[in-house]
A and B are shown apart, each in its own frame.
Chain A
Amino acid sequence: MQAILDNWPLLIDGLVVTIEISIYVIVFGTLIGLVGGLSLLYGGSVLRGLFRAYVDIIRGLPLLVTIFLIFYGIPAVGIPMDKFPAAVLALSFFAGGHMSEIIRGAVGSIPKGQMDAAASIGLTFFPRLRYVILPQAIRRIVPPWVNLCVELIKGTSLVSLVSITDLLLSAQQILERTAQPIPFYILTAAIYFVLCYSMATLGGRLEKRFAYYD
């Protein structure tokens, strides 16, 4: 118990890093996913092909391999990059690929008649998306998006393997000194649980907010 209290600040530092990375990755991932999903649906053959390759590669690779590839690969080809941005880049790459599939699925499931009706009153492409398609798609995007966000938050724990002091690495560093694995891992698990469960609850609220019709 004493050990926990002594090392609390280190744990908090790690938690902050985890939260920081999670936010960056979720934001970047969602942006990439929006571009990717819409490109897969409405883009020309070049754009579609590029994103198809991107998504199919990301989905076939473990997150850890993606992280190693980008984290060690970029400096190896001579581009200098700090650890933190490299990790965020790698995780965002992963996130964007999965996010693109989610958005492609949700937006693609909106009946074609909606696009027809929006076009027939004279709306051009982007206003069609903005006023008619996306407001309907967002309801179908939220649940898988929330699931992906939870997986991403859990995925940030992998940066501990490239020496970024997130929550998991902080816990392990403390463990080296105190050597009581079980209680510490349970505590760390509890913190992750709170993080992820909050995200899921937030997601539930978002779902309700967008279900204001039928």
Chain B
Amino acid sequence: MIETEPKGQMPGGPGGGKNIIVIEDLQKRFGHLEVLKGVDLKVDQGEVVVVIGPSGSGKTTMLRCINFLEEYNGGRIYVDGELVGYREKGGKLVRRSEGEIARMRADVAMVFQSFNLFPHMTALENVALGPIQVRKVPKDQAYEKAKALLARVGLADKLDSYPSKLSGGQQQRVGIARALAMEPKIILFDEVTSALDPELVGEVLAVMKQLAQSHGVTMLVVTHEMMFAREVANRVVFMDGGKVVEEGKPEELFSNPQTERLRTFLKRFFEH
């Protein structure tokens, strides 16, 4: 059974009620293509929020704006009260320094669709790199912690394996361990099972389910796995055409969609 690890969350309150992420009217263009046309979203501490929607709806872009892997053109994103990527100076937005951006990124962990494990490092080294170089944790401590995390995701026997020797599901679990190692305020999951062979999807979803049920980790998950959303999410958000169209509890959203677009999306989805 996974133990709760509520570190990295806000000090003081035991959780609940505090907005970890606040997104207001988020806009993002790629050249002439408007991908985000005013997204509003809030995520509370400890919540598991699942974002669904057709491709091109901007889900991944929104995620990448939260940890400033993409710069946004309009609106505001706040992580734990701090404005992401910019400082407000007299009503204008001024880009933060590299150091500040890096510091904020350390508190927002991401798990990628294409894993992006560092191929020249073992699983253990992949997980320990962040704590050692960014959190300045002493090496032995970092490796101990990394060992524990890899055991937690079921890879205790793969500590010294290089990513090329691991299956897709195993690599993704290392990716999750790498995210956990930073003790982040929130973990962003960017379609983390979409690139996996079907038989490997289950092991990754199982790990994510355990994380969600441990009630310590705030999770924002972009996925196509509707079953996962139904079983695990506290709240489901439906995005389409660069905006949030509908959101609500999974039971309500799936059985009683309010908007036409969500109805069409769900129909197409469950027809397959």
Contacts and interface: CB of A to CB of B under 8 A. Distances in A.
A121 B118 contact: no
A164 B249 CA distance: 82
Contacts of B76: none
Nearest to A139: B120
A132 B178 CA distance: 14
Given A213-B164, A214-B162, A124 B102 contact: yes
Residue among B103, B116, B182 facing the most chain A CB atoms (10 A cut-off):
B116
A121 B98 CA distance: 13
Contacts, number: 72
A113 B130 CA distance: 16
B129 A131 contact: yes
Contact of B119 (A120, A123, A131, A213): A213
Contact of A119 (B69, B103, B164): B69
Say what secondary structure dominates the interface of chain B: mixed
B69 A131 contact: no
Interface residues of A, number: 21
Contacts of B112: 113, 116-117, 120
A123 B118 CA distance: 13
B133 interface: yes
Nearest to B113: A113
B77 interface: no
For chain B, the bracket of interface size reads 20 to 34
A23 to B, nearest CB: 29
A213 B129 CA distance: 17
B93 interface: no
B151 interface: no
A132 B121 CA distance: 9
Contact of B69 (A116, A127, A136): A116
Contact of A117 (B103, B118, B162, B164): B118
B210 interface: no
B99 interface: yes
Given A136-B120, A214-B119, A122 B164 contact: no
Contact of A120 (B67, B103, B120): B67
Which 8 residue pairs of A and B lie closest in terms of their CB atoms, listed nearest first? A122-B106, A214-B164, A117-B116, A121-B130, A113-B116, A122-B134, A120-B110, A213-B162
